[in-house]
Structure formats: C-alpha cells, structure tokens
C-alpha cells in the first residue's frame, strides 16, 4: 500500500488531481480570498489500480487565514506568509498535514494550465 507521507506521492496527488483541484482552488480564491488546499494525509486512501495508476480518495478542504484566526482550523504559526506569497492565478498552495506537521507545496505541474485558465475552461 502506498504512503502519502512520501513527497513523491504528494507530487503525484498534485499532478493527477490538478484538473479538479486547480479550478476548485481558483473558484474558492474568488469567493473567499487567498488560501490553500488542506489535505489531511491520515484521511486519504490510496490504492494501486490497473495500468500503473494510483487511486486516491479523501477530503480536500480550502482554508484561509480567516479560518485559522477564527479557530476553524489549526495550522502552524506563520502559515499566513504562505497564503500571501503564492500567485492564485498561476499557482495553488497545498498543505499536506500528516498529523505531526505540515508540508507545503506552492506551484503547478509544469505543463498544466494555470488555475485561472482551468477555472475559465470549467465555467464556459
């Protein structure tokens, strides 16, 4: 069984999930402001599928610094700097929570459309 604490698998989740996650993140940015995609690693289910595919299932939540300030979610001190640093039109901020700490990834898979482009495609 695959382990989502592995950074390579986290990158695979980003790459495989990009067509769904990117427009979702951009829509939430437009509705709620800057934030990130919180992925609770312990709640994710991974299974090997056919043809070297990885099947991934679990909740993905968009969180903002307002959520942190209200106490709706607990994130490490200073995470708001990450919220401010990314460019929501071109990148997504991912927060991988393994229960001990949070690993962040800010960017997009190299050859994929931007979150703004993906959102525009979905809303046509």
What's residue 40's pLDDT?
83
pLDDT at 49 over 70: no
- The DSSP secondary structure of 100-111, one letter per residue, reads S-EEEEEE--TT
Mean pLDDT over 88-92 rounds to: 96
What's residue 2's pLDDT?
46
Q: pTM to 2 decimals? A: 0.84
Structural domain boundaries in the chain:
7-122
Are 28 and 62 contacting, i.e. CB atoms less than 8 angstroms apart?
yes
| Main-chain phi, psi angles of 88, to 5 degrees | -60, -20
Lowest-confidence pick of 1-5, 67-71, 97-101, 117-121: 1-5
Mean pLDDT over 43-51 rounds to: 62
Buried b (16+ CB within 10 A) or exposed e, 16-34: ebbeebbbbbbbbbeeeeb
| Phi-psi group of 105: left, alpha or beta (phi > 0 → left; psi -120 to 50 → alpha; rest → beta) | beta
């Amino acid at each position: 069984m695959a382990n989502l604490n592995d950074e390579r698998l986290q990158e695979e989740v980003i790459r495989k999930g990009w067509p769904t996650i990117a427009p979702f993140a951009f829509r939430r940015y437009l509705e709620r402001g800057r934030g990130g995609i919180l992925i609770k690693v312990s709640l994710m289910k991974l299974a090997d599928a056919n043809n070297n595919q990885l099947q991934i299932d679990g909740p993905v939540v968009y969180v903002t610094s307002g959520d942190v300030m209200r106490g709706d979610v607990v994130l490490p001190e200073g995470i708001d700097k990450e919220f401010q640093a990314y460019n929501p039109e071109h990148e997504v901020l991912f927060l991988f929570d393994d229960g001990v700490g949070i690993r962040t990834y800010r960017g997009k898979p190299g050859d994929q459309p931007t979150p703004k482009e993906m959102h525009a495609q979905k809303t046509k």
